[in-house]
Structure 1
């Protein structure tokens, strides 16, 4: 079976990349990266995300969205990764997915159209301090009255979000998803330092906070949301890995040492060829995982685990190589290599690191013991 992006999906990716190249290039990224006191949420970029439909990609047409799937969303995520783009696109998209999967009709009517247009900035708080991404990592508890107590971190863009989707362990032992207004009494949002300046993170502390439960939520829905987050993060990693590799190859074609272009040395050529293959295979794994989730294939959880572990390992190696193969300039603050490396290093550990996902592969294939919850949970 031939499996590839459609012409429309390829055009979507081209449109996002062209916009970023023209209006939000690495100079604009650097301005956000170096503004450590800023909110990391460029207004013009967010406006474009709403106008161009990047936020509407997963919102159903009935709620003013494009009604597309994860395969389309991962196209946008790859472009954002290639541009090391800041902003709350991914957490807002995931909050919308939580509402779409588990919200009531009223929740969907109230929130999804606003997410699609960019009128609502949202985020997700799905694990606690030092917690793994899964039911065991949730550090917020819900009492019988639906009040939430506990903490979640790191939460992306919590300081600018108007709505937070919080995962909480319920008295039944199930994991529920709750809508929280971060301005509510009992909510404390505190910014966190991050080596990756392309994102802003915070801790969210909840003290008997009143919240709205998404009525369709369950541990299974929570696991599905984590899978979708893992695939989109993996797509971002693939995009940045490909761009880092292209930049490295381009640089080494022109960089001369010992009277010859560095890229002409056999050892470098072989390594770069291996990295090209690794990025290509990671991209295929992400594409298949997105498709598997879109159509509900039986092996979708295995596909997600393969995609996230492969993308994480590959991006980490490629971005480390980018610094090394740029020579002395690659280690400087003035060069953009560290943007890619730091973003990759952070995202490797977002929504399950490669070790966790390989444990998951073992549990799903040969039944090996895993520190994660038993399949099909994350």
Structure 2
């Protein structure tokens, strides 16, 4: 029987939150993010260096004897939550969570060496699967002939920032350097420009075998990614709610704050309830991943099925309740709406997770 989950934040987690929020406030305010997504360099490499190398947060999930911090998914969830609040253009979810967890499912010296590089933040990794791939995703169309990897994967998140790709094939999971001969990264149009997508083509690229059991390692990485993506969605929804409440208190109409109108109070109260419930499912998923609970698959499926629509609704409500200013390009709400929409189909849609949950608890539709 699984232990009772702990949904509260510890003192250490709150201290971590404060440190990450201070860093983002100094280097990743809305103006900076808006300027960066309009530039040719959507990833903030200087901020990544501060977060991953200086603060050591890229290695939270990596044991200390393998070069990491030896923390857990609970701490990583706090970081994801704060990055979501800032819609930070960083490859944290893709490298420090998904790629790292995938490597933790591999054995051998090659995997350990690469894991230590990712933990130190010096190397950025990306799992070469589409962003929409959920836990249980197959190896795709990439093949390996000996150590030569060939094939094409589209919609790979943060591929432009990656130094190494983890490439699942029917022959196993391979590590392929982004600078290797035969590797081409082609940017693709993406709704969320703070997490850009790209097609990655491998044409006989040299690969290093990490494990023969690619499906198990990939499933581990994608499950952790799906579970901690919920914390990112929570961070977005929480910021949107707080920002909208603040704005409706300051915006006056008919000589009254618009937030005093009963119809708006009801809408914001409903959104508050949904955000509180999102916090509960996000913390439950993070705690289940951290403790290795028998109910981890259920916790992740429940959290993903619930959180994605809430984040989208929070962004839509914020956009409407900000009135005309919310529709302007200068206001950051459109960044949150795009991230929420993109996250809603990332790592499995809510429908995918509801179907998975039905199977897990044996409640199949007739």
Q: TM-score interval w.r.t. the shorter chain? A: over 0.9
1:58 and 2:54 correspond: no
Distance in 2, Cα, partners of 1:364 & 1:184: 41
What per-residue deviation string (whole Å, max 9, x for no partner) do you get for residues 261-304 of structure 1?
11111121111111111111111111111211222212111110
TM alignment of 1:289-308, pairs within 5 A: 289-308=285-304
Listed one character per residue, the Cα deviations across residues 52-97 of structure 1 (whole Å, up to 9, x for unaligned) are 1221211211123111111110100000000110022222112222
Is 1:13–1:75's contact at 8 Å kept on the other side of the alignment? yes
Cα 1:355–1:201, aligned 2, differ >3 Å: closer, same or farther? same
> Which fold has the larger relative contact order, with Cα–Cα distance below 8 Å and residues 6 or more apart in sequence?
2
* Alignment partners' CA distance in 1, 2:7 and 2:136: 34
* Kept in 1: contact 2:128–2:153 (CA 8 A): yes
Distance in 2, Cα, partners of 1:225 & 1:285: 19
1:27 aligns with 2:31: yes
TM-score, normalized by length of structure 1? 0.89
**1:318-338: CA deviations, max 9, x gaps?**
001010000011111111110
Consecutive unaligned residues of structure 2, counting only runs of 5 or more, are: none
Instruction: Give the distance between the partners of 1:169 and 1:23, measured in 2 at CA.
Output: 42
Deviation at 1:209, TM superposition (A): 3.1
Alignment of 1:58-97 (within 5 A): 58-93=61-96, 94-97=98-101
2:116 corresponds to which residue? 113
C-alpha RMSD of the superposition = 2.0
SS in 2 for 1:86: coil
Cα distance in 1 for residues equivalent to 2:339 and 2:138: 23
* SS of equivalent to 2:58: coil
- Superimposed CA distance per residue, residues 220-258 of structure 1 (whole angstroms, 9 cap, x where no aligned partner): 332221110101211111101100110001000111122
For 1:45, which of 47, 53, 57 is the aligned residue?
47
Q: Hey, what's the Cα distance between the residues in 2 that align with 1:330 and 1:280?
A: 24
Task: Give secondary structure in 2 for the equivalent of 1:302.
Answer: helix
Determine the C-alpha separation between the residues in 2 that align with 1:206 and 1:283: 40
Equivalenced residues, count: 360
Distance, in Å, in 1 between the alignment partners of 2:136 and 2:7 is 34
Residue among 261, 264, 272 paired with 2:268: 272
8 Å contact from structure 2 (residues 233, 308) kept in 1: yes
Q: With structure 2 as the length reference, what TM-score do the two structures score?
A: 0.92
